């Protein structure tokens, strides 16, 4: 055999190894592409041909590369905010979302914010389908909030909704909305429901202001009347107590005087019964003494059997 007909030794082996090395490298690269990372504030959902297989916590995970499995990540520590009755950047509220009918058939407008977190990423992504093109599944949370607020506002008069009952509505709305979302399986945890503003519609706000002014005048009058009563009643009670005390003192004096006179009369009656003549003379002398003590002129005889003379008493 000539030199031109001989082939270099080992050339076929290198060629075969080269043919296997490329697919092996591609296979390794394809398998390595299955390593995925889930951040600490996220929860991963593994899909196999579009079907949910499992959820992944934070960390490094391996799954079958495309097209077998895919990973959807959802932030679970982020507080999401959804508005009801208005949109961020819009000056005019949306009447179809903002107006509610109260229990006393009045209309109020509410601007509400719902804050929630994703609790179960798989339920949040795939338990409920999107309502339609361009309408995310968060729309269900808004509609659920509207349903809850409709029931709560209809149970209360307008004064409670605009005033003191707002805190109770917020608390009850959060509880009912959470129960509603759990029933639907939305996979979220309602953090809070805040009513940012509550006011009457623009068409009747003047009438509401008049009613509010009248109520304020009534409350002011009630306050003034209450203050006048609180000032007057203690004085009247003090005066009544003083009159009662004076009457009791007068009664004690009259009773004591009457008892003294009765005792004196009783003693005098016993003395008269014991010595009638002496008692009669003594009573006559006492009477004359009292009468003469008030007289300014005294008539007396100078000598027995003579004419009486008048003497002026200074």
Q: The whole model's pTM is what?
A: 0.55
The whole-angstrom separation of Cα 119 and Cα 30 is 33
Residue 254 pLDDT grade (very low, low, confident, very high; cuts 50, 70, 90): very high
Q: Is 223 exposed, middle or buried (0-12, 13-18, 19+ CB in 10 A)?
A: exposed
pLDDT, one tens digit per residue, over 124-167 is 877 776 665 555 667 888 888 888 988 888 888 887 888 778 88
pLDDT tens-place string over residues 280-310? 888 788 887 887 777 666 666 566 665 555 5
Give per-residue pLDDT as tens, 204-226.
Answer: 666 667 776 787 888 888 888 98
The strand pairing partners of 114, in sequence order, are 82, 193
Residue 274 in 3-state DSSP? helix
């Amino acid at each position: 055999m000539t030199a031109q007909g001989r082939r270099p030794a080992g050339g076929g082996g290198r060629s075969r190894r080269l043919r296997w090395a490329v697919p092996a490298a591609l296979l390794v690269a394809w398998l390595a592409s299955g390593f995925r990372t889930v951040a600490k504030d996220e929860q991963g959902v593994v899909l196999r041909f579009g079907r949910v297989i499992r959820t992944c916590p934070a960390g490094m995970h391996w799954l079958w590369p495309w097209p077998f499995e895919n990973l959807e990540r959802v932030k679970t520590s982020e507080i999401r905010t959804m508005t009801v009755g208005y949109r961020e950047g819009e000056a005019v509220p949306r009447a179809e979302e903002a107006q509610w009918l109260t229990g006393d058939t009045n209309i109020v407008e509410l601007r509400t914010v719902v804050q929630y977190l994703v609790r179960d990423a798989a339920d949040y992504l795939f338990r409920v389908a999107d309502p339609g093109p361009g309408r995310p599944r968060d729309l269900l949370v808004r509609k659920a909030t509207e349903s809850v607020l409709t029931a709560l506002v209809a149970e209360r008069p307008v004064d409670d909704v605009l005033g003191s009952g707002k805190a109770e509505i917020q608390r009850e709305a959060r509880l009912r909305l959470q129960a509603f979302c759990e029933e639907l399986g939305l996979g979220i945890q309602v953090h809070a429901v805040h009513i940012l503003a509550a006011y009457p519609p623009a068409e009747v706000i003047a009438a509401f202001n008049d009613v509010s002014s009248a109520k304020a005048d009534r409350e002011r009058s009630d306050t003034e009347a209450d203050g006048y009563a609180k000032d007057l009643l203690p004085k009247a009670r003090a005066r009544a107590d003083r009159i009662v005390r004076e009457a009791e003192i007068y009664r004690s004096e009259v009773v004591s005087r009457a008892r003294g006179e009765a005792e004196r009369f009783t003693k005098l009656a016993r003395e008269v019964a014991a010595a009638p003549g002496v008692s009669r003379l003594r009573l006559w002398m006492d009477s004359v003494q009292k009468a003469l003590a008030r007289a300014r002129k005294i008539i007396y005889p100078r000598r027995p059997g003579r004419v009486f003379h008048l003497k002026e008493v200074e």
